[in-house]
Amino acid sequence: MKIFFILSVFLTASFATTATTLVVRDKLFSKAIQSAKPGDTLIIKPGYYKPRNVIINKPLTIIGEGMPTIDGENKYELFTITAKRVTIQGIRFINTGKSTTLDFAAIKAYDADGLCVLNNRIIDAYFGIHISNTSHATIVKNYISRTSTENSETSIGNAIHLWKSDHALIEQNRVSNHRDGIYFEFVTNSIIKKNHSEKNLRYGLHFMFSNQDQYIDNEFVNNGAGVAVMYTHSVTMTGNLFANNWGASAYGLLLKDIRDSEVNHNRFINNTMGIYMEGSSRINFRNNEFNGNGYALRIQASCDQNVFEKNNLKANTFDIATNGSMVLNTFEKNYWDKYEGYDLNKDGFGDTFYRPVNLYSMIVERIPVSILLWRSFMVFLLDRAEKNFPAITPENLLDNKPSMKPYDFVSSRK
């Protein structure tokens, strides 16, 4: 037994001594990568490097000292990673090539389980970070943006792009001016947390067929549209900000064919639509703030069994719009700033129900150009008559216990 223990210690010590730290100072960048052994650490000294598509096919840790620059000269992909347990940290990547067929990226990885990409700056890349078929990737504290004025979807890739991966952590990144800020497709059991995504051409976050993921405390601001969630189930979205997503058909959050999910403690501020949803079921919306949106909620008749409870709806042009006469969703204990009822028994809730659907929202849904008459005296009279004798708005879309005061969501999350 003693001999076995001594042999084990000897082998462990021998393995540990095989990993070395190499310093890269000159232009022979690719050669240094090729000559490194699995497990080595490479320290890239400050400087300006122009390697052609560096292939990393072994476990390595590559750390930039003083943020060295890797320049693709608008021709090449920069790092292509095909090995497990690779770390890329503290490097500035600029000017990748562009290819709609090859999807050039500053950092592209596939079959690269355990990948870590930390504290890098990526400027003017077609795709920033592009990951495929990878488990347990960690993408943290990277800055990814473009300075180019090109604004067509074919000339811009996504800042952070994951496909067919699982157990990823995307945290504290700042992404902007790409097609989509963050893109997930067939990505499961992953977390997107505390990222800031703004001024992207299409979506701040776009994910499809990506189940059992969590989106926590992110900011999606001033994008073509905020977040699109499609063909997915078992998603949790908590503590996010959706703000200033304006345009003819822009929204803070699009939910299409989603089920069995949670949308809680989010803020929807100054969007054309706070939430637009169709074909979605069994989603709980609780403790969300809707403030200053054109539409707070635009719910198509194809949605059912969703619960809206204890949300604040303030200063929205339309609180709810729908295209159907039958509503199969539940609204309860929400605060509506347009509610004019009383609370005579002092239980904190209105004595009468509230109908949040405005007559004119139904008309606009069918005749969009009629929005030009909004706030006219005629519309005011029609809306008052409809609330007393509903004929067009869904009779069963009502909140039976409207809250008399807005909720304090900051305290409730502590």
pLDDT the model gives residue 363: 53
Q: Which residue intervals of 259-368 are DSSP H helices? A: 359-366
| Whole-number Å distance between alpha carbons of 252 and 100 | 28
Question: 363 in a domain, yes or no?
Answer: no
What b/e string do you get for 43-62 counting C-beta neighbours within 10 Å, with b at 16 or more?
A: bbeebebebebbebebbbbb
Looking only at Cα atoms, what is the longest distance across the chain?
Answer: 95
306 shares its domain with 184 = no
pLDDT the model gives residue 101: 81
201 shares its domain with 259 = no
295 shares its domain with 346 = yes
Question: 9 in a domain, yes or no?
Answer: no
201 shares its domain with 263 = no
39 shares its domain with 90 = yes
190 shares its domain with 228 = no
We report the CATH number of the domain holding residue 102 as 2.160.20.10
252 shares its domain with 153 = no
Structural domain boundaries enclosing 50: 18-205
320 shares its domain with 189 = no
Q: Please, what is the Cα angle at 159 between 153 and 164, to 5 degrees?
A: 95
Q: Which residue intervals of 208-338 are DSSP H helices? A: none
Question: 145 in a domain, yes or no?
Answer: yes
pLDDT the model gives residue 377: 52
If DSSP states are collapsed to H, E and C, what string results for 196-238?
Answer: EEECCCCEEEEEECCCCCEEECCEEECCCEEEEEEEEECCEEE
22 shares its domain with 146 = yes
DSSP code string of 5-17: HHHHHHHHHHHHH
Question: 369 in a domain, yes or no?
Answer: no
Q: End of a domain among 154, 177, 205?
A: 205
Question: 412 in a domain, yes or no?
Answer: yes
Low-confidence ranges of the chain (pLDDT < 70): 1-19, 27, 149, 151-154, 248-249, 326, 358-394, 410-414
pLDDT the model gives residue 388: 56
pLDDT the model gives residue 13: 38
Question: 54 in a domain, yes or no?
Answer: yes
pLDDT the model gives residue 115: 98
**Residue pair 348/378 in contact by the 8 Å Cβ criterion:** no
pLDDT the model gives residue 393: 57
Question: 3 in a domain, yes or no?
Answer: no
If DSSP states are collapsed to H, E and C, what string results for 34-80?
Answer: HHCCCCCEEEECCCEECCCCEEECCCCEEEECCCCEEECCCCCCCEE
H or E segment and range at residue 122: strand 121-123
DSSP code string of 161-173: EEEEEES-EEES-
pLDDT the model gives residue 174: 98
| Whole-number Å distance between alpha carbons of 189 and 41 | 30
Select from 129, 133, 132, 242 the least CA-distant residue to 178: 129
Tokens of 314: 């303030």
Q: End of a domain among 205, 238, 254?
A: 205
406 shares its domain with 292 = yes
| Whole-number Å distance between alpha carbons of 159 and 321 | 33
Question: 216 in a domain, yes or no?
Answer: no
Helix, strand or coil, per DSSP, at residue 128 = strand
Q: Taking the model in full, what pTM does it have?
A: 0.87
pLDDT the model gives residue 410: 67
Select from 233, 236, 296 the least CA-distant residue to 267: 296
**Residue pair 296/319 in contact by the 8 Å Cβ criterion:** yes
The residue with tokens 């305290």 is 411
What b/e string do you get for 312-334 counting C-beta neighbours within 10 Å, with b at 16 or more?
A: bbbebbbbbbbeeeebebebebb
**Residue pair 148/126 in contact by the 8 Å Cβ criterion:** no
Give me the number of domains the chain comprises. Answer: 2
Q: End of a domain among 144, 171, 205?
A: 205
Select from 176, 169, 164, 154 the least CA-distant residue to 222: 176
pLDDT the model gives residue 10: 32
pLDDT the model gives residue 100: 77
From the centroid of its chain, how far is CA 13? Answer: 44
Phi, psi of 214 (to 5 degrees): -125, 135
Tokens of 275: 């939430």
pLDDT the model gives residue 8: 36
261 shares its domain with 398 = yes
- Following CA atoms 76, 82, 83, 87 in sequence, which dihedral angle do they give, to the nearest 10 degrees? 40
45 shares its domain with 169 = yes
